[in-house]
Amino acid sequence: MASEVEEVYELLLGRARAIDAALDAVARLHQDDDVPTAMYEAFTTEYEREKEQLRAVISTLRSEYPEVEREQLLVSERRVLQEEKSAVQDAIRTGVINDDIGERLLEEIDLKVDLVAAGESTVLGGGEGYDEFWRDLRDLGLAVDEGDGDAEITVVDHKQGEA
Protein backbone atom coordinates (compact mmCIF):
# COMPACT_ATOMS: atom_id res chain seq x y z
CA MET A 1 0.00 0.00 0.00
CA ALA A 2 1.23 3.47 -0.85
CA SER A 3 2.29 5.73 1.97
CA GLU A 4 0.20 8.75 2.87
CA VAL A 5 2.77 11.02 1.23
CA GLU A 6 2.65 8.97 -1.99
CA GLU A 7 -1.15 9.14 -2.00
CA VAL A 8 -1.04 12.93 -1.62
CA TYR A 9 1.53 13.07 -4.39
CA GLU A 10 -0.69 11.04 -6.72
CA LEU A 11 -3.65 13.25 -5.85
CA LEU A 12 -1.61 16.33 -6.75
CA LEU A 13 -0.46 14.77 -10.03
CA GLY A 14 -4.03 13.86 -10.88
CA ARG A 15 -5.20 17.39 -10.18
CA ALA A 16 -2.36 18.81 -12.29
CA ARG A 17 -3.45 16.64 -15.23
CA ALA A 18 -7.06 17.73 -14.75
CA ILE A 19 -5.97 21.37 -14.81
CA ASP A 20 -4.01 20.82 -18.02
CA ALA A 21 -7.09 19.24 -19.61
CA ALA A 22 -9.28 22.12 -18.41
CA LEU A 23 -6.86 24.68 -19.85
CA ASP A 24 -6.82 22.84 -23.18
CA ALA A 25 -10.62 22.66 -23.20
CA VAL A 26 -11.17 26.33 -22.41
CA ALA A 27 -8.62 27.31 -25.07
CA ARG A 28 -10.48 25.21 -27.67
CA LEU A 29 -13.82 26.65 -26.59
CA HIS A 30 -12.46 30.17 -26.80
CA GLN A 31 -10.94 29.52 -30.21
CA ASP A 32 -14.34 28.23 -31.40
CA ASP A 33 -15.99 31.38 -29.96
CA ASP A 34 -17.95 29.29 -27.43
CA VAL A 35 -16.38 31.13 -24.47
CA PRO A 36 -16.16 34.92 -24.41
CA THR A 37 -12.69 36.44 -24.00
CA ALA A 38 -13.35 37.79 -20.50
CA MET A 39 -14.53 34.38 -19.30
CA TYR A 40 -11.58 32.67 -21.03
CA GLU A 41 -9.16 35.00 -19.26
CA ALA A 42 -10.84 34.38 -15.90
CA PHE A 43 -10.67 30.60 -16.35
CA THR A 44 -7.08 30.75 -17.54
CA THR A 45 -5.95 33.02 -14.71
CA GLU A 46 -7.51 30.80 -12.05
CA TYR A 47 -6.26 27.52 -13.50
CA GLU A 48 -2.75 28.84 -14.14
CA ARG A 49 -2.58 30.12 -10.55
CA GLU A 50 -3.59 26.73 -9.19
CA LYS A 51 -1.16 24.99 -11.56
CA GLU A 52 1.75 27.08 -10.25
CA GLN A 53 0.79 26.30 -6.66
CA LEU A 54 0.61 22.59 -7.47
CA ARG A 55 4.03 22.70 -9.14
CA ALA A 56 5.51 24.22 -6.00
CA VAL A 57 3.94 21.61 -3.70
CA ILE A 58 4.90 18.74 -6.02
CA SER A 59 8.47 20.02 -6.21
CA THR A 60 8.65 20.25 -2.42
CA LEU A 61 7.34 16.71 -2.00
CA ARG A 62 9.88 15.38 -4.47
CA SER A 63 12.77 17.08 -2.72
CA GLU A 64 11.71 16.24 0.84
CA TYR A 65 10.59 12.65 0.26
CA PRO A 66 13.09 10.62 -1.79
CA GLU A 67 10.65 7.71 -2.05
CA VAL A 68 8.24 9.97 -3.94
CA GLU A 69 10.97 11.01 -6.37
CA ARG A 70 12.02 7.37 -6.80
CA GLU A 71 8.47 6.20 -7.44
CA GLN A 72 7.95 8.99 -9.96
CA LEU A 73 11.11 7.92 -11.76
CA LEU A 74 9.89 4.32 -11.96
CA VAL A 75 6.42 5.38 -13.12
CA SER A 76 8.00 7.55 -15.80
CA GLU A 77 10.28 4.72 -16.90
CA ARG A 78 7.31 2.35 -17.18
CA ARG A 79 5.46 4.86 -19.35
CA VAL A 80 8.48 5.47 -21.58
CA LEU A 81 9.09 1.74 -21.97
CA GLN A 82 5.44 1.19 -22.95
CA GLU A 83 5.85 3.85 -25.64
CA GLU A 84 9.06 2.16 -26.78
CA LYS A 85 7.29 -1.19 -26.97
CA SER A 86 4.38 0.32 -28.88
CA ALA A 87 6.76 1.89 -31.41
CA VAL A 88 8.49 -1.45 -32.03
CA GLN A 89 5.14 -3.22 -32.39
CA ASP A 90 4.05 -0.58 -34.91
CA ALA A 91 7.32 -1.04 -36.81
CA ILE A 92 6.68 -4.79 -36.98
CA ARG A 93 3.05 -4.33 -37.99
CA THR A 94 3.92 -1.88 -40.79
CA GLY A 95 6.85 -3.95 -42.07
CA VAL A 96 9.58 -1.46 -41.18
CA ILE A 97 11.38 -4.26 -39.35
CA ASN A 98 10.92 -8.00 -39.69
CA ASP A 99 9.36 -10.16 -36.99
CA ASP A 100 12.64 -11.70 -35.79
CA ILE A 101 14.34 -8.34 -35.25
CA GLY A 102 11.18 -6.99 -33.68
CA GLU A 103 11.06 -9.89 -31.24
CA ARG A 104 14.68 -9.25 -30.21
CA LEU A 105 13.84 -5.62 -29.53
CA LEU A 106 10.65 -6.52 -27.64
CA GLU A 107 12.52 -9.05 -25.48
CA GLU A 108 15.00 -6.35 -24.55
CA ILE A 109 12.23 -3.90 -23.67
CA ASP A 110 10.48 -6.59 -21.62
CA LEU A 111 13.72 -7.17 -19.70
CA LYS A 112 13.82 -3.46 -18.86
CA VAL A 113 10.13 -3.52 -17.86
CA ASP A 114 10.88 -6.42 -15.49
CA LEU A 115 13.78 -4.49 -13.92
CA VAL A 116 11.59 -1.42 -13.39
CA ALA A 117 8.78 -3.58 -11.96
CA ALA A 118 11.33 -4.93 -9.46
CA GLY A 119 12.12 -1.36 -8.42
CA GLU A 120 15.36 -0.93 -10.40
CA SER A 121 15.87 2.08 -12.60
CA THR A 122 17.32 1.46 -16.05
CA VAL A 123 18.32 5.10 -16.53
CA LEU A 124 19.94 6.05 -13.23
CA GLY A 125 22.82 4.57 -11.34
CA GLY A 126 25.31 2.08 -12.61
CA GLY A 127 23.60 1.28 -15.88
CA GLU A 128 21.23 -1.46 -16.86
CA GLY A 129 23.39 -4.43 -16.03
CA TYR A 130 23.53 -5.50 -19.67
CA ASP A 131 24.27 -4.06 -23.09
CA GLU A 132 21.57 -3.75 -25.68
CA PHE A 133 22.20 -6.22 -28.49
CA TRP A 134 22.76 -3.48 -31.05
CA ARG A 135 25.72 -2.15 -29.07
CA ASP A 136 27.63 -5.35 -29.82
CA LEU A 137 27.88 -4.96 -33.57
CA ARG A 138 31.03 -7.07 -33.93
CA ASP A 139 28.85 -9.90 -35.17
CA LEU A 140 27.95 -7.66 -38.10
CA GLY A 141 31.55 -6.68 -38.83
CA LEU A 142 31.24 -3.32 -37.07
CA ALA A 143 32.65 -1.91 -33.86
CA VAL A 144 31.23 0.87 -31.68
CA ASP A 145 33.53 3.16 -29.70
CA GLU A 146 31.61 5.20 -27.11
CA GLY A 147 34.67 6.31 -25.17
CA ASP A 148 33.97 10.05 -25.11
CA GLY A 149 30.18 9.78 -25.17
CA ASP A 150 29.98 10.19 -28.95
CA ALA A 151 29.50 6.82 -30.61
CA GLU A 152 31.77 6.08 -33.54
CA ILE A 153 31.12 3.07 -35.75
CA THR A 154 33.99 1.52 -37.66
CA VAL A 155 34.24 -1.46 -39.97
CA VAL A 156 36.19 -4.32 -38.45
CA ASP A 157 38.56 -5.98 -40.91
CA HIS A 158 37.94 -9.70 -40.44
CA LYS A 159 40.63 -10.51 -42.99
CA GLN A 160 43.51 -9.21 -40.88
CA GLY A 161 46.31 -11.73 -40.92
CA GLU A 162 45.00 -13.44 -44.06
CA ALA A 163 47.11 -13.35 -47.21
What pLDDT shows up at residue 42? 97
Per the CB < 8 A criterion, the answer to whether 117 and 134 are in contact is no
Percent of the chain whose pLDDT exceeds 90: 63
What pLDDT shows up at residue 6? 86
pTM above 0.85, yes or no: no
How many Cβ atoms are within 10 Å of 147's Cβ, its own excluded? 8
DSSP secondary structure letters along 44-95: HHHHHHHHHHHHHHHHHHHHH-HHHHHHHHHHHHHHHHHHHHHHHHHHHHTT
What pLDDT shows up at residue 161? 42
What pLDDT shows up at residue 156? 58
What pLDDT shows up at residue 23? 98
23 membership: H or E segment, kind and range: helix 4-31
What pLDDT shows up at residue 89? 98
Q: Model confidence over 48-87: pLDDT tens digits?
A: 999 999 999 999 999 999 889 888 899 999 999 999 999 9
Per the CB < 8 A criterion, the answer to whether 74 and 119 are in contact is yes
What pLDDT shows up at residue 158? 52
What pLDDT shows up at residue 147? 62
- One-letter amino acid at 75 equals V
pLDDT < 50 regions, the chain: 1, 161-163
